[in-house]
Structure 1
């Protein structure tokens, strides 16, 4: 309860898991260069104040209404370049990572699967908004993205829906791939060296071991590594009013963004 006797809204969060954070990075433009911190701060405020309404996440398409500076809400649409399920499963198999699909059912966000389905560039996500701002990623588009990120934080399979597929489709593609592989193996077995009389191919000489690739650590968000309750208590102890704690956390996140750029 607040000192005035009214209830205080809990501070909302988003982008607290690897997949949702990666989605936000692409939409915010962090993968291509500096970002508009002022616009991001305003969008975070819209998200925190629940200005986004009627969020609908369909296959490869997201729609929502966002309350803004005008009487009527703005209409936002995100259209995503869909992934190709057979290609995803084929690459998973080549990496011996088909088990990532099973891990997804347990609520985890497997790295290999994420690298195959997540958007990697701004062109992967088209956005439109009925507001007068001609910027490609207006504050309303960003606010809707944060709502989607919050849903991915809660349910990892939401990302698959956003990217135009789902878990049943991927599992079906794996099954089809397995059946095809069994057929190829059967054909190969019928033409073995013993049956054809052809000598076996010589083994290749052992080669020098390849050097491992240079590490490519993921982008960090130090705010996510902090205990949020302790952080809020520290901010309150420093004299920040309870109602301004959420905004103060956003400002800290922006400062970390500047340091990491």
Structure 2
């Protein structure tokens, strides 16, 4: 019989089980919306414990992480063979709430253009506040947190690791912030285009007589008169080109290639 007390094995820290091809977080809070997310967590008493999960997140202990409307579901590998299931809930907005938000965004050409180009201007929080909505959780009551681990502390290090990973994913793709509230990128942009298109009357159609083939051939090689001084080079948002590329079938560490490339595109000079 061992001379050690019966509680010695439980108190002795166990080594966490390494995860092959786990979701690894390398950095965080490089964009204003990611920094704002971390600041909100600190304000409501959650962010102060994110450091407990930083080691887990950077070590790749998160097996998977799925962001959907109103929820984040992740598997985090701890010291036990079975990964812990982590759930984070955020109230998703309904049809009426999103209708007000989309109309407010569509009415201002600046916000609509920025979102359509893949960016998120800092003032967008004011737009949501103007229609009675908060883009980020306003109080701890706006968050539900659950983990299957035996730790009684909330958030535990597994929840904190997922929060840390979320902040990095928001860095890579600001539309994941909106996806949590119930609008994915494609749906939001399609609705903004529709609302922008219906906000003004269509141009009248003027029937023109078709030119003859001889007239078309005669003018084929003529150069049109263009005032080059009026042409202004476009200044697209970094990563706007990625929005034109369809999603690839393959993924890297369970993440879309387009989302992984977005931070690199932000570093390219325009």
Report how far residue 25 of structure 1 moved: 2.8
**Matches of 1:165 and 1:68 in 2, distance apart?**
32
Q: CA RMSD in A?
A: 2.9
Q: Give yes or no for contact 1:18–1:109 (8 Å, CA) kept in 2.
A: no
Show the counterpart of 1:222.
none
Q: Contact (CA 8 Å) 2:76, 2:84: kept in 1 or not? A: yes
The question of whether the paired residues in 2 share the 8 Å contact of 1:61 and 1:78 is answered with yes
Please state whether the residue corresponding to 2:81 is helix, strand or coil: coil
Shift of 1:51: 1.0
CA distance in 2, matches of 1:176, 1:107: 17
Aligned residues: 168
C-alpha contact 1:56 1:64 (8 A) present in aligned 2 = yes
> Offset of 1:32 from its aligned partner?
3.5
Q: Which runs of 5+ in 2 are unaligned?
A: 1-23, 129-134, 202-270
Please list the CA deviations of residues 53-110 of structure 1 after superposition, one character each: whole Å capped at 9, or x if unmatched: 11111222211111123232110011211133112124436xx645323312333221
Structure with bigger gyration radius: 2
| 1:163 and 2:176 are equivalent in the alignment | no
Shift of 1:172: 5.2
C-alpha distance in structure 2 between counterparts of 1:59 and 1:165, whole Å: 7
Q: 1:69 & 1:113 partners in 2: Cα distance?
A: 42
Aligned position for 1:148: 166
Match of 2:139 among 121, 130, 138: 121
SS of equivalent to 2:146: strand
The answer to whether the 8 A contact 1:85-1:170 is kept is no
Change over 3 Å in CA distance of 1:140–1:173 after alignment to 2? same
Look up the match of 1:86: 99
Matched, 1:68 2:78: yes
- Residues 98 and 31 (structure 1), Cα distance of their counterparts in 2 relative to 1, 3 Å cut: farther
C-alpha spacing 1:173/1:123, structure 2 compared with 1 (3 Å):
farther
Q: Distance in 1 between matches of 2:182 and 2:83?
A: 27
1:134 and 2:152 correspond: yes
Task: Give the SS at the match of 2:179.
Answer: helix
Q: What 5-or-longer segments of structure 1 have no aligned partner?
A: 1-9, 184-261
Q: CA deviation at 1:173?
A: 4.8
After TM superposition, the score normalised by the length of structure 1 is 0.55
* Larger fraction in helix: 1
Verify: 1:17 aligned to 2:31, yes or no. yes
Under a length normalisation based on structure 2, what TM-score does the superposition of the two structures give?
A: 0.53
User: Aligned residue for 1:109?
Assistant: 120
2:117 and 2:200 map into 1 onto residues whose CA distance is 28
The structure 1 residue matched to 2:51, chosen from 12, 22, 41, is: 41
Match of 1:52 in 2: 62
Deviation for aligned residue 1:127: 1.5
Q: Which residue of 2 aligns with 1:32?
A: 44
Q: CA deviation at 1:158?
A: 1.5
